[in-house]
Amino acid sequence: MSQHDESVRCVVLGQPDRDRADAIDEVQQRTTCELTLTEDPVVAFANVCMALQAQAARATWGLAKADPPLLLVVQPDHWSDYDKLLNAMGMYAPHVPVHLWQEGRLDLLPVKVDESEPHTSPPSMTISRADTPIEPPEITAEEIEMLLTTETPEP
Amino acid sequence: MSLQRPRVGRTRGSVLLVGPPQQRDRLVPTSRPDVIAVDTLFDALGQLTSGRVHTPVHTILLAPNHPEELTQQRIAAFRRLDPVVRVLLVAEPTVADELGQQMLDRFDGLITGPLTEQQLSEAADGADERSNVPEILVTPNLEPPDPPPVNPPVAPTAPPSEAKAPWIAEEAVSPPPEVIPTPEPDQHATAQEQLGDIDLVDQILNDQGDLLSFALRLITQQTQWQNCCVRAVRGDFEGPIAPIEIDGKRFGLLSADDADTAELQSWAGWLARWLQLDLSHRQLSSMAMEDDLTGAGNRRFFYRAMQETMNSSNELRRPFALMLFDIDNFKIYNDAFGHEAGDEILCETVRLLRAIVRRGDHVCRIGGDEFVVIFADPEGPRKSGPANLESVEQIARRFQDQICQMHFPKLGQDAPGNLSVSGGIALYPWDGNDIETLLHHADQRALVSKRSGKNMITLGPPQPNNETS
């Protein structure tokens, strides 16, 4: 597991039974995480979204690094909305690892990562000199319109 | 009970319509581009989180087959993801009648479908104002909604739309109350109905920008004239008119179908004085915030604009940048070529900056030759969001490039080379959460630029442990 300043959020979708306890034990042997337990797939996904939102906010505001959350689904067959949940995870949270606990075994679903996703970390320090060659940026139609506007600029 | 929930004001955005396609088509038939339709709650949560909707979602319309699947926990999840989003339930009237109070309490409102275009427009357009919410609500099992506000009172007749004068400036400033003119007609204006001087003063003080139409309502209320309005020209109108003159210039013509000419003139004079007052205060406001020489925002304006930009940034989680710079060797120019030349440089610098920055950015002069640009434009022609640093850098570079090429007639042929600037850029929130800290970082980076040979703008995130104040 990578180094981080905040512990990983693990959202657990499972009924309060022996299977869930075993699944959590297994996950916690692999990674240190804070648990969020729920018995509703929609709420589970919402919790994943919230963890992602918090992660993005931390990164954007430069507060701390954090690994993405993870989702643990105990006995996937039990949940009628499991397919919808999985589709949503693939579409909106493709970086989030999904662990499945079934028949006493923990499996990790393959993660689809889109490398074109924008990065949210702040840019690195740069210094630009005016006397170095500058590539003039292309002026867009909107900019031309802005420059030609007759509106009095505020203060 | 009230179905309304206090909301933080936010900019216009999208409506997220959630439900199975057939249910959506039945209850919310629309093809509006600002309504994003999704099938499931999962999609709605994903859209709300991932920002795949380009404009912020301000309202969620839930149109489920089975409302009971919208549990308290699920609705609460939406609110935790976006605390200011409005969650409305859309249901058929028969279904709505059967919903219990506990169920209804989960939502910000209930709309019985199918929605009309107007209801949808109000949902889409009116989310900024809490007062708009009850207009689109049907409350079958609830107590009546709160009564509408009674203050300020409204006149029985609305003013005609053409009464609005587009040449009135946008800003307003508070006048001292003792200078408010109290023309003769005003005596019965205050005596008769609730509408009166105080309402006009409020219009000016609160920068509501609608003094003229409010004043026309007052006139209509007091005189009972028909079609009282302000016209730009007489045109085909054959009834009585009276000119409204401000500072000796024709503002417009006050007219009413059944007015007495003498009385109309009296009201035109009364109206002119209110408009004059409004205009004077707008000018005062502008002077209070503007640098006399260059027309840029002054230091007072800078602090106000920064605070507003930071508030907006916090609300929308959108970073912004601050560029501080001064003109290299300005003192030498000033000493060698005189203050007139120095003034020309300052004015041209502001003019150039304003031509380069985006519409929502602010240019301020906070010292002798010290300027600040607040890159506050959220949706400029270039990229927005965290990536807008790229555009800020481009603007800064373009500014540097162009100021080097500027020619100043007052400098003559002996000018020592091209003009240049040295500056620094600080980023909110990475470099600080208050104005002084941000200014400090920008200033430190401007110093780096100076020490590195001038003609340079330095930007970037804070350097660990060596730049904090």
| Per-residue pLDDT reduced to its tens digit, B65-83 | 888 889 988 998 888 777 7
* pLDDT tens by residue, chain A, 155 residues: 334 445 788 999 999 999 999 999 999 888 888 899 999 999 999 999 988 877 766 655 555 556 788 999 999 999 999 999 999 998 888 888 999 999 899 988 865 544 444 333 333 334 444 443 334 455 566 666 666 655 554 54
pTM > 0.90: yes or no: no
pLDDT of B58 above 50:
yes
Helices H, strands E: what count in chain B? Answer: 14, 13
Among A152, A61, A4, A92, smallest CA distance to B351 is for A152
pLDDT value for B159: 32
Amino acid (1-letter code) at residue B410: K
Of B24-28, B101-105, B282-286, where does the model show the most confidence? B24-28
Letter string b/e over residues B409-441, b meaning 16 or more CB atoms within 10 A of that residue's CB? ebbeeeeeeebbbbbbbbbbbbbbeebebbbbb
Give the model confidence (pLDDT) of B189-220 as tens digits. 444 445 677 778 877 777 666 788 888 888 88
Count the Cβ atoms, other than its own, within 10 Å of residue B308.
Answer: 13
Find chain B residues with C-beta within 8 A of A52's C-beta. 49
Best mutation site among B38, B43, B49 for testing chain A: the one with the most A CBs within 10 Å?
A: B49
Q: In chain B, positions 274-313, which contact chain A (CB-CB < 8 Å)?
A: 286, 289-290, 295-298, 301, 305
pLDDT of B280 above 80:
yes
- Mean per-residue pLDDT, B319-347: 86
Give the model confidence (pLDDT) of B133-189 as tens digits. 322 232 222 233 333 333 333 333 333 333 332 222 233 223 333 322 333 344 444
B459 token code pair: 């930007």
Interface check A1 vs B, CB under 8 A: no
ipTM > 0.90?
no
pLDDT value for B139: 25
Contact A92 B289 (CB under 8 A): no
Instruction: Give the least confident one: A50-54, B22-26, B42-46, B240-244.
Output: A50-54
pLDDT value for B204: 78
Sheet containing B35-38: give its strands across. B35-38, B14-18, B57-62, B86-91, B109-112
- Mean per-residue pLDDT, B432-457: 88
- Mean per-residue pLDDT, B350-368: 86
Mean pLDDT of chain B: 73
Residue ranges of domains in chain A, CATH in brackets:
8-109 (3.40.50)
Phi-psi category of residue B17: left, alpha or beta, with phi > 0 → left and psi -120 to 50 → alpha = beta
B69 token code pair: 């699947």
Contact B386 A53 (CB under 8 A): no
**B454 vs B411, higher pLDDT:** B454
